[in-house]
Chains A and B, each alone.
Chain A
């Protein structure tokens, strides 16, 4: 079946612009995660949803970052007033059950470049 999909795959934004990144998890997956991967680094946790509830947003770097998953499926990560340090690959992952050690399946990522 289809895996996790993300769009757009590439996004170039001018500093100060707002961007919205979309994640379509695997159908039926309860848990959804966003990670940020800067060049040469490993992925870093941003936020976690269980269905539509955002249970952990401790990794969001500033109040310019906002994520939502209103119907418990598709999620959007929004970055307001983008800065150069926001340039990174944004990864979305989903897993089938909450509170258990289930595998996280990753999407291909969205590469954001802020100029």
Chain B
């Protein structure tokens, strides 16, 4: 069965520090991977997807099939990045399989 693992429940950094939110997946085929973000009092929204290979709000994520990882990175964290981040995969059908989430707290 598909599985997404986010080992850190909380990541606390200072403003300007680099950030890496870890995500590992298990899937036998070719997965589609996503990062979703939920800011305080807002709904869950898509941050980025691996097939787009884009940078959103300074965040990037590279799919590493050898390590089955899809870590989210940002070189310089901002206070407004504080939020819950969920890694998710989509397998052969439409549904998303989410990790348990990592809360990112960026302090001034």
Contacts and interface: CB of A to CB of B under 8 A. Distances in A.
Interface of A: 3-4, 31, 33, 35, 40-45, 48, 55-56, 59, 91, 95, 98-99, 101, 103-109
A34 B64 CA distance: 30
Nearest to B51: A101
Given A40-B100, A42-B98, A48 B93 contact: yes
Contact of B44 (A31, A55, A91): A91
B96 interface: yes
Contacts, number: 56
Contacts of A33: 94-96
A49 B35 CA distance: 23
B44 A45 contact: no
Interface string B75-101: 000000000001010100111111111
A10 to B, nearest CB: 14
Nearest to B101: A42
A45 B97 contact: yes
24 contacts: A3-B43, A4-B43, A31-B94, A33-B96, A35-B96, A40-B9, A40-B100, A41-B100, A41-B101, A42-B4, A42-B86, A42-B99, A42-B100, A42-B101, A43-B86, A44-B98, A45-B97, A48-B95, A56-B94, A56-B95, A101-B49, A103-B46, A105-B45, A107-B43
